C-alpha cells in the first residue's frame, strides 16, 4: 500500500467528510432517534409523547405475533442465505467450467442483478399470480393448489423464491471471480493428486473460496433481513393479514401503518442488536476457519 503525504493535517479529514456526513445523517442520527423514541409512547400525530421506560420492549417481546414473525424471519433468512449462496456457487462452478460461450452464460446469469427489488417482487408476483401466473400451470400439473397471498405457506414459498432469484446474480459474480482467481496450476496439481472432482472441490476449491464465501454470508444475511423489504411489500401488497412477513416489514407496518412509533422503534433497536451480535459471532467464530491468501 502506498502512503500519501498530505500537505495539511486537516486535508484528509476534509476528504472523508462527505462519507462521514452520509453515515452520520442516514445511519447514526436515525439510530439515536430510534433508541430515544423506543423509550417513549407517542401519539400517532406526534403532538405528545410520554416516557414509558422499557414498556415498549416488554410489549414487543411478550407479544405472540412478534415471536411468530421472528420465527418466520429466522427461517426465511436461513433459507434465502443458504439457497442463494449454494445455487450461485453451483452456477459459478458450472459457468467457470464452460469454455465456449461462457461470456453469454455469465451475462445471462448476471443481468438479474440490475433489477430493483420491488420490480423483482412485481415480476415474481406476476409469475406466481393466481390468474395469469405461469407457475400456476406447473403447480396444477403436480396437484398443488397454489394460492399466493391467501395461503401462508404458498406466500412464504413465493417470497423465498423471488428473494433467492434476486440475490443469485450478486453471489454468482463474486463466486465466479473467486473461482477465476484460483491459479490454473493449482487445479492441475489437484487433478494429479486426486481423481475425484467432487473431493477436489471440497478439499481445494472450497477452502480457497472461503474468504469470498464468508464475505457473501454476511452480505446475504443482511440482504435477507433488510433488503428483501421491497419484495415482501410487493408480495403482501401492504396487507399483511395472515401472510408471512419479516421483522423489518413489521417495523414499517407498526410504525407507518399502525402509528405506533415507540413500539416500532423498540423493534428496530432489537433488530439492530441482533444484527450486531450476529456479525460479531460471524467474525469471531466463522472467520477463524477462513484462509486468506
Partner 1 sequence: MATITLDKVRKVYAGTMEAVKGVSIDIADGEFIVLVGPSGCGKSTLLRMIAGLEEITTGEVKIGERVVNKIDPADRDIAMVFQNYALYPHMTVYNNLAYGLKNRGMPKAEIDKRVKEAARILEIDDYLDRKPRALSGGQRQRVAMGRAIVREPATFLFDEPLSNLDAKLRVQMRVEIKRLQRELGTTSVYVTHDQLEAMTLADRLVVLNKGNIEQIGAPIEVYDRPASTFVASFIGSPAMNLLDVTSDDAGLKLVTGTGLAGAASGLDRGRYTLGVRPEHLEIADGAASGEGLSLEVTVNVLEPVGAESFVYASFADGGPQIVVRVSSHARHQPGEKLYLKAMPQNVHFFDADTGKRID
Chain contacts with partner 1 (rule: CB under 8 A): 183, 185-186, 188-196, 199, 203-204, 207-208, 210, 291, 293
Question: What cell does 276 get?
Answer: 450486531
CB of 98 to partner 1, least distance (A): 16
Taking the least distance from each CB to partner 1, the nearer of 45 and 198 is 198
Closer residue to partner 1 in complex, CB, 203/242: 203
The nearer residue to partner 1, 14 or 189, going by C-beta atoms, is 189
Closer residue to partner 1 in complex, CB, 67/186: 186
Distance CA 146, CA 161 (A): 14
For the CB of residue 182, give the shortest distance to partner 1 in the complex, in Å. Answer: 10
**At which residue does the C-alpha cell 452456477 appear?**
91
Q: Which is nearer to partner 1, 130 or 290 (CB)?
A: 290
Q: How far is the CB of 185 from partner 1 (least distance, A)?
A: 4
CB of 293 to partner 1, least distance (A): 5
Cβ distance to partner 1 smaller for residue 44 or 183: 183
Of 189 and 277, which CB lies nearer to partner 1 in the complex structure? 189
Task: State in angstroms the smallest separation of the CB of 215 from partner 1.
Answer: 17
State the minimum distance, in angstroms, from the CB of residue 206 to partner 1: 10
Long-range Cβ pairs for the range 73-76 (8 Å, 24+): 73/225, 73/246, 73/247, 76/156, 76/159, 76/160, 76/163, 76/224, 76/228, 76/244, 76/246
Smallest distance, partner 1 to C-beta of residue 177, A: 17
Amino acid at each position: 500500500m502506498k502512503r500519501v503525504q498530505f500537505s495539511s493535517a486537516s486535508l484528509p479529514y476534509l476528504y472523508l467528510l462527505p462519507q462521514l456526513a452520509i453515515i452520520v445523517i442516514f445511519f447514526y442520527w436515525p439510530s439515536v432517534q430510534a433508541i430515544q423514541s423506543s423509550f417513549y409512547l407517542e401519539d400517532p400525530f406526534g403532538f405528545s409523547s410520554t416516557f414509558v421506560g422499557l414498556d415498549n420492549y416488554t410489549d414487543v417481546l411478550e407479544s405472540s405475533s412478534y415471536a411468530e414473525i421472528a420465527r418466520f424471519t429466522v427461517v426465511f433468512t436461513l433459507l434465502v442465505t443458504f439457497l442463494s449462496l449454494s445455487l450461485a456457487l453451483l452456477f459459478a462452478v458450472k459457468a467457470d467450467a464452460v469454455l465456449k460461450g461462457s461470456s453469454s452464460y455469465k451475462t445471462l446469469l448476471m443481468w438479474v442483478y440490475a433489477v430493483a427489488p420491488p420490480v423483482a417482487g412485481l415480476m415474481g408476483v406476476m409469475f406466481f399470480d393466481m390468474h395469469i401466473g405461469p407457475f400456476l400451470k406447473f403447480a396444477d400439473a403436480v396437484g398443488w393448489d397454489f394460492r399466493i397471498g391467501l395461503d401462508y405457506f404458498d406466500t412464504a414459498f413465493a417470497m423465498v423464491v423471488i428473494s433467492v432469484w434476486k440475490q443469485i446474480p450478486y453471489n454468482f459474480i463474486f463466486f465466479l471471480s473467486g473461482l477465476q482467481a484460483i491459479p490454473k496450476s493449482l487445479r492441475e496439481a489437484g487433478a494429479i493428486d486426486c481423481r475425484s472432482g467432487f473431493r477436489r472441490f471440497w478439499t481445494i476449491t472450497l477452502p480457497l473460496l472461503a474468504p469470498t464465501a464468508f464475505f457473501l454470508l454476511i452480505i446475504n444475511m443482511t440482504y435477507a433481513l433488510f433488503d428483501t423489504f421491497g419484495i415482501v411489500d410487493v408480495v403482501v401488497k401492504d396487507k399483511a393479514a395472515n401472510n408471512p412477513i419479516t421483522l423489518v416489514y413489521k417495523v414499517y407496518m407498526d410504525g407507518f401503518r399502525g402509528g405506533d412509533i415507540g413500539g416500532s422503534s423498540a423493534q428496530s433497536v432489537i433488530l439492530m442488536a441482533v444484527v450486531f451480535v450476529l456479525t460479531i459471532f460471524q467474525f469471531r467464530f466463522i472467520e477463524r476457519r477462513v484462509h486468506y491468501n
